[in-house]
Amino acid sequence: MKKGFRLIALLAALALVAAACGDDTSDTTATTAAATTTTADAGGGDTTTTTEDTMMGPIFDVGVTEEPCTNGSPDRGCIQLGSVTDQTATFAAASPGLLAGHQLFWARVNASGGIGGLFDVEIVDEAIVNNNYDPATHVEVYQQIREDVLALAESLGTSQTLAALPDMIDDNMVSAPATWWSGWNYAESDGGLILESGASYCVEAMNSVDFALGNFPGGAATVGVVYLPNDYGLDYLAGVKIAAEANGLEVLFEQQTLPVGLDPGQTEAVNAVVTNSADVTFLVTGPSETATIVGTAAAGGHQKPFIGAGPSWNAALLASPAAAAFEAGIYFNSAPWGSWATDTPGHEAMRAMADAAGAPASNFVSAGWVEQYPLKAALEAAVAAGDITRAGLVAAAQSLGEVDFEGMVETVANYGANPIVTSSVVGAVDPAAPDGITILGGGPFTGPTAAAFDYSGPCFAG
């Protein structure tokens, strides 16, 4: 048994003794476990101590093992994570990049000594499951991995994650979301389990409207929105409408659309864009819908600008039939953080890891990387507290202090109190940029609408 871990077999034996004696106190094993520990003497050998000695190493239960991770250090245990992602539907093209970002992030952590010097972290292959961007499927596939991992490195989709949230709360399943719904900023919406990174869709939208007013020739008197009819689309739509009202703009249309698998031509969306000809059209879609809408509208003569939400862009669009429309400069992308080439310590570390692994430059790799910072902080806090059970990880997450995103997102001073991140970016298409986007305006900014907004609850509450 590795030095630094409590004797899990002893915990089990003590639990049985307590049960046999009729002790109904649920935390008895954690208290009694102080009776015997295994420590290292000055010469590096193992010495069994007595009841007065201090406990060594954290207690743990599901998804943590004293055995090393695959390719992990033989001197450390393993924290096992899962991922509920989309491999076949709207964000199927994003999934490989997101996973690569997770893996690169944890590879760097492991190479730097792991979590507390005791554990490496891995995303278990068998615990990477496909939700097909469907809430019911998300719930179903979550059931397949819920007993196998400590936490989720990713839960993709807002309505999808919300569908599984009751089970996740029952399981104490802490998760890093691939969703930026504004509800994650409020503990009552997520049970304190969802560790979000960066600005919400709603804040991103407010800043994007303010950006258009200050940076597009002639500003913008009218706006339109094409959106997927889910919490992603509706939260960003809410932000556009909040900023439009604050600035006296007219919202000419709010057009729902469906994924290209259900609506290949995006006909109603294109008609709404071309017919209304708003000064700016906001796209809250996936990359495939973005390509069809922008490409078809531009081919029909529409030349007014689009601003797409962060997930609407993929550099692969520059190799699509719609490439000419994007290269013409009518599409802009909003996002919670800077593009691949941004000059921050976090971006630099990510690029170095990606270069060494041969991973592509991608905004989805960036997203997968950034998503992991709060989860890392929570794991470190749980190990430091001596309790990396699922319940211990929840407690650590809910009491987190500062989370340092290495400049990729503004440092959050009191993360456990659910502070609101109000800065985001807007970028222009740049075929020469590694991920096809160059950030405009000097980097992250908070517009006047987001700065003045009363953050009393989600922009879209479902």
Q: How confident is the model at residue 249 (pLDDT cuts 50, 70, 90)?
A: very high
pLDDT digit string (tens) for 258-277? 999 999 999 999 999 999 99
pLDDT digit string (tens) for 418-429? 889 999 999 999
Residue 5: its pLDDT value, please?
53
**At residue 46, does pLDDT exceed 60?**
no
Whole-number Å distance between alpha carbons of 247 and 179: 27
Residue 366, C-beta contacts closer than 8 angstroms, at least 6 positions apart = 101, 337, 339, 340, 347, 350, 408, 435
Residue 329 vs residue 56, higher pLDDT: 329
Average pLDDT over residues 8-37: 34
Residue 86: its pLDDT value, please?
97
Residue 53: its pLDDT value, please?
36
Residue 2: its pLDDT value, please?
56
Average pLDDT over residues 35-59: 43
Residue 192: its pLDDT value, please?
86
Q: How confident is the model at residue 10 (pLDDT cuts 50, 70, 90)?
A: very low
**At residue 155, does pLDDT exceed 60?**
yes
HSE value, Cβ hemisphere, 13 Å, CA-based, for 420: 21
Tokens of 295: 């490409």
C-alpha distances out from residue 259 to 227, 298, 314, 373, 456, Å? 10, 20, 15, 30, 32
Average pLDDT over residues 397-407: 96
Residue 7: its pLDDT value, please?
37
Residue 189: its pLDDT value, please?
87
**At residue 47, does pLDDT exceed 80?**
no
Range with lowest mean pLDDT among 21-35, 55-69, 402-416: 21-35
**At residue 80, does pLDDT exceed 50?**
yes
Q: Which of 447, 409, 5 minimizes the C-alpha distance to 215?
A: 447
Residue 209: its pLDDT value, please?
98
Whole-number Å distance between alpha carbons of 368 and 364: 6
Residue 248: its pLDDT value, please?
98
**At residue 406, does pLDDT exceed 90?**
yes
Residue 421: its pLDDT value, please?
96
Q: How confident is the model at residue 57 (pLDDT cuts 50, 70, 90)?
A: confident
pLDDT digit string (tens) for 99-141? 999 999 999 999 999 999 999 999 999 999 999 999 999 999 9
pLDDT digit string (tens) for 365-393? 999 999 999 999 999 999 999 999 999 99
Q: Which of 180, 152, 166, 123 minimizes the C-alpha distance to 375?
A: 152
Q: How confident is the model at residue 152 (pLDDT cuts 50, 70, 90)?
A: very high
Residue 358, C-beta contacts closer than 8 angstroms, at least 6 positions apart = none
Whole-number Å distance between alpha carbons of 290 and 304: 15
Partners of residue 115 on adjacent β-strands:
119
Instruction: Note the pTM of the prediction, 2 decimals.
Output: 0.87
Contact 62, 10 (CB under 8 A): no
Whole-number Å distance between alpha carbons of 419 and 414: 7
Residue with tokens 């900014």: 445
Domains and CATH numbers, the chain: 8-48 (no CATH), 64-198+342-417 (3.40.50.2300), 201-335+424-452 (3.40.50.2300)
Range with lowest mean pLDDT among 53-57, 94-98, 205-209: 53-57
Tokens of 306: 């689009």
Burial of residue 281 (number of CB atoms within 10 Å: 0-12, 13-18, 19+): buried
